[in-house]
């Protein structure tokens, strides 16, 4: 009997160590991706030309990705303008009165849309905006990114709004405020930190997406701030330059990848901090 | 006044225009899905009517003779996704088990943050890392030795390539790991704590509690998490495109180059001319989105059914 118990305990200990070892293995790729991107990207990023110049032909030094940074900023900015207001109102609806059957369908649709392949969304934007206008444009890229951001904004702002205690909106309604003022002037400001971080997470996701931009924003080797024209973006630079056989372009790709990773990590880690604070504050209310 | 109080509740309240507005706005999400499917179908219409249902089973892909078939891409997509799931499942489950344990929350929060950051890294960054770092390493330390030693098994035979089905599957495994572990963790946390406590009170060890109590209780949800991760793998584009080798054939070995639905669209769509060629690519996109929609919907319903039992 005692022997059997010892065997059971031994087996349990082994299983615990195996689970923790596998968890360790899960974190290895994170360290490797971050480490290699930093190591290979730093030589490119440390030249100021990288942020100041546009791409130069192969063999001519001093090329940069400023046009791609501008393109990413413009397309993601336009996409945010399109998707964040819509997403926040959707989130208000789900967070405040999300018990009904229709709300369940909206939630399911948003979750399914999060998992929709981004390349299909790119095809959609191509068919809707590029084909009728006969040329690639920053606007079509922005629309593709907006479709991608929308479900993320809806779900994260729903989460933030659901944290606000109903007593807040009830006291507003009891004072005779119309429902839109309760939602927009009482609940939304209280949930603002969570809603904003959710929106930032969506922005970070959109900034890193390549597939929807391949046949919408398309890429552009020159400086361009006009969203009716083709536009470059950082992920497009990484994708195109990484697949060339030229070491200088490959370095540029690693540099652009590093910029993307730093951006995404900053947004994610800071949003985590804000959300934790928000949870603690909601606990105090 | 008294008259008003006697009216039924619904009539006394003025129509709430803001709520109607919010409901209308929230329709955008379902409408977007519908619009994507309809628009892709319209784009694909010439190919759909030209090739019919045989498109899905035809094996040739020849833009010159306008002879198109989807089977190599369907095979590549399904094979990479399932191999990725097979690799990621044990690791993802272990992470979920560790994260769902009570106690030592600070350590678990750190591990959880690390795993979730894996989901935040852009696909294209995985792609460049896989192409320049992981693919050469896997080639030298896994593909070459295995293909030499086990060449009598057709699926593992050589000649091995750096960019192959297997390389793509490994990248995908890393990329779906966060989905898998985060969703299974939530499902395991939803198992009533009374079950765990009763098992411990009966003298079960940690392993017995986990294996015989928690995992069976969370079974449907874990299955849902796996299906959800599978859906992510099916639709993943850029990282796969960079390492799969882009050859529109059904390879005999997993160490050979292949192609997926998403990556052929990414590579060829901007160069596709004429009517039939882009339409065939759009039909591949249509197949991809219909499959991922169905897979995702199934997975979400499974996951929800288990997390609802808790309440």
Q: Is residue A36 part of a domain?
A: no
Contact flag B123-A210 (C-beta cutoff 8 Å) = yes
Q: Residue A62 corresponds to which tokens in the numbers above?
A: 């001093």
- State which residues form the domain around B285: 19-309
3-state helix, strand and coil shares in percent for chain B, rounded to the nearest 5: 75, 0, 20
**Out of B23, B125, B211, whose CB is closest to A33?**
B125
State the DSSP code for A117. Answer: -
pLDDT reported for residue A274: 81
Q: Is the pTM of this model over 0.90?
A: yes
Q: Is residue A206 part of a domain?
A: yes
Chain A positions in Cβ-Cβ contact with residue B134 (cut-off 8 Å): 32
Q: Is residue B262 part of a domain?
A: yes
In chain B, the number of structural domains is: 1
- Look up the ipTM and state it: 0.92
> Where residue A153 sits, what CATH number does that domain have?
1.10.3720.10
State whether the Cα torsion B53-B54-B56-B62 is positive or negative.
Answer: negative
Omega before residue A224 within 30° of 0, cis:
no
CA distance B157 to chain A (A): 27
**Out of A19, A30, A94, whose CB is closest to B98?**
A19
d(CA B85, CA A29): 16
Diameter of chain B by CA atoms? 91
Q: Is residue B51 part of a domain?
A: yes
Chain A positions in Cβ-Cβ contact with residue B113 (cut-off 8 Å): 269, 272
CA distance A49 to chain B (A): 22
In chain A, the number of structural domains is: 1
Would you give the distance in Å from CA A115 to the centre of its chain? 13
Contact flag B32-A113 (C-beta cutoff 8 Å) = yes
Residue A218 three-state SS: strand
Q: Is residue B2 part of a domain?
A: no
- State which residues form the domain around A255: 51-284
Q: Is residue B10 part of a domain?
A: no
pLDDT averaged per 10 residues, chain A (length 285): 87 92 93 96 90 86 90 95 94 85 90 93 94 92 96 93 89 90 90 90 93 92 90 94 91 94 90 80 67
Substitution target from A9, A11, A26 for chain B, most B beta carbons within 10 A: A26
Provide the number of CB pairs (under 8 Å) joining chain A to chain B.
254
Q: CB contact, 8 Å: B49 with chain A?
A: no
Q: CB contact, 8 Å: B133 with chain A?
A: yes
CA distance A285 to chain B (A): 23
pLDDT reported for residue B1: 45
> Where residue B73 sits, what CATH number does that domain have?
1.10.3720.10
Contact flag A29-B42 (C-beta cutoff 8 Å) = no
Residue A229, phi then psi, degrees to nearest 5: -105, 165
B140-153 core/surface letters (b: 16 or more CB in 10 A; e: else): eeebeebbeeeeee
| Residue of chain B whose alpha carbon sits nearest to that of A40 | B129
Per-residue pLDDT of chain B (311 residues; tens, 9 = 90+): 455 555 555 555 566 788 888 888 889 999 999 999 999 999 999 999 999 888 999 999 998 999 999 999 999 999 999 999 999 999 999 999 999 887 778 888 888 889 889 999 999 999 999 999 999 999 999 999 998 888 888 888 878 888 999 999 999 999 999 999 999 998 998 888 899 899 999 989 989 999 999 999 998 899 999 999 999 999 999 999 999 999 999 998 999 999 999 999 999 998 888 899 999 999 999 999 999 999 999 999 888 887 654 43
Q: Is residue B9 part of a domain?
A: no
Q: Is residue A44 part of a domain?
A: no
Contact flag A128-B206 (C-beta cutoff 8 Å) = no
Chain B positions in Cβ-Cβ contact with residue A97 (cut-off 8 Å): 19
Q: CB contact, 8 Å: B56 with chain A?
A: no
Q: Is residue A38 part of a domain?
A: no
Contact flag B128-A238 (C-beta cutoff 8 Å) = yes
Q: Identify whether the C-beta of residue B240 lies closer than 8 Å to the C-beta of residue B233.
A: no
Q: What is the pLDDT of residues A221-233, one digit of tens each?
A: 889 899 999 999 9
Contact flag A92-B22 (C-beta cutoff 8 Å) = yes
Q: Is residue B11 part of a domain?
A: no
Residue B151, phi then psi, degrees to nearest 5: -65, -15
pLDDT reported for residue B106: 84
Q: Is residue B248 part of a domain?
A: yes
Contact flag B115-A36 (C-beta cutoff 8 Å) = no
State whether the Cα torsion B207-B213-B214-B220 is positive or negative.
Answer: positive
CA distance B152 to chain A (A): 31
pLDDT reported for residue B108: 87
Q: Is residue B114 part of a domain?
A: yes
């Amino acid at each position: 009997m005692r022997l059997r118990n010892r065997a059971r305990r031994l087996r349990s200990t082994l299983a615990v160590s195996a689970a923790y070892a596998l968890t360790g293995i899960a974190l290895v790729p994170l360290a490797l991706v971050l480490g290699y991107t930093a190591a290979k990207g730093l030589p490119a990023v440390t030249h100021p030309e990288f942020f100041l110049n546009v791409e130069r032909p192969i063999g001519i030094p001093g090329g940069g990705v400023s046009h791609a940074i501008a393109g990413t900023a413009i397309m993601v900015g336009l996409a945010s303008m399109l998707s964040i207001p819509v997403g926040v109102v959707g989130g208000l609806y789900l967070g405040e009165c999300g018990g009904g059957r229709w709300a369940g369908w909206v939630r399911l649709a948003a979750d399914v849309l999060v998992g929709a392949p981004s390349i299909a969304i790119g095809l959609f934007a191509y068919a809707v905006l590029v084909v009728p206008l006969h040329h690639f444009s920053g606007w079509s890229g922005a629309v593709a990114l907006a479709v991608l951001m929308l479900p993320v904004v809806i779900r994260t702002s729903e989460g933030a709004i659901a944290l606000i205690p109903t007593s807040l909106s009830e006291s507003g309604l009891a004072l005779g405020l119309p429902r839109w003022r309760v939602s927009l002037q009482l609940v939304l400001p209280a949930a603002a930190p969570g809603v904003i971080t959710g929106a930032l997470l969506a922005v970070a996701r959109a900034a890193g997406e390549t597939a929807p931009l391949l046949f919408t924003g398309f890429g552009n080797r020159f400086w361009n701030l006009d969203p009716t024209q083709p536009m470059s973006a950082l992920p497009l630079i990484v994708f195109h330059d990484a697949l060339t056989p030229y070491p200088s372009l490959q370095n540029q790709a690693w540099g652009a990848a590093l910029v993307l990773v730093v951006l995404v990590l900053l947004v994610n880690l800071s949003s985590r901090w804000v959300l934790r604070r928000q949870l603690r504050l909601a606990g105090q209310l | 006044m008294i008259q008003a109080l006697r009216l039924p509740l619904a009539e006394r309240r003025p129509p709430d225009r803001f709520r109607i507005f919010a409901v209308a706005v929230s329709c955008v999400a379902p409408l977007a899905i519908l619009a994507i499917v309809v628009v892709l179908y319209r784009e694909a219409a010439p190919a759909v009517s030209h090739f019919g249902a045989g498109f899905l089973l035809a094996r040739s892909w020849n833009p010159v003779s306008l002879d198109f078939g989807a089977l190599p891409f369907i095979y590549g997509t399904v094979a990479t996704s399932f191999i990725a799931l097979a690799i990621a499942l044990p690791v993802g489950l272990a992470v979920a088990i560790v994260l769902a344990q009570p106690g030592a929350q600070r350590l678990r929060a750190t591990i959880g943050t690390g795993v979730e950051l894996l989901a935040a890294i852009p696909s294209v960054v995985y792609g460049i890392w896989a192409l320049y770092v992981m693919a050469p390493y896997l080639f030298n330390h896994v593909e070459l030795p295995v293909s030499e030693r086990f060449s009598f098994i057709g699926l593992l035979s050589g000649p091995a390539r750096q960019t192959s089905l297997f390389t793509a599957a490994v990248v995908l495994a890393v990329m779906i790991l966060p989905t898998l572990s985060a969703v299974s963790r939530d499902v395991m946390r939803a198992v009533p704590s009374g079950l765990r406590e009763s098992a411990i009170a009966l003298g079960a060890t940690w392993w017995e509690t986990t294996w015989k109590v928690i995992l069976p209780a969370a079974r449907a949800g874990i299955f849902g998490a796996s299906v959800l991760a599978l859906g992510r793998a099916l639709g993943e584009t850029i990282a796969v495109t960079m390492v799969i080798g882009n050859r529109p054939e059904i390879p005999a070995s997993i160490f050979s180059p292949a192609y997926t639905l998403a990556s052929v669209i990414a590579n060829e769509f901007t160069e596709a001319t004429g009517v039939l060629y882009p339409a065939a690519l759009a039909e591949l996109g249509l197949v991809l989105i219909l499959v991922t929609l169905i897979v995702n919907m199934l997975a979400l319903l499974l996951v929800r059914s288990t997390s609802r039992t808790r309440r």
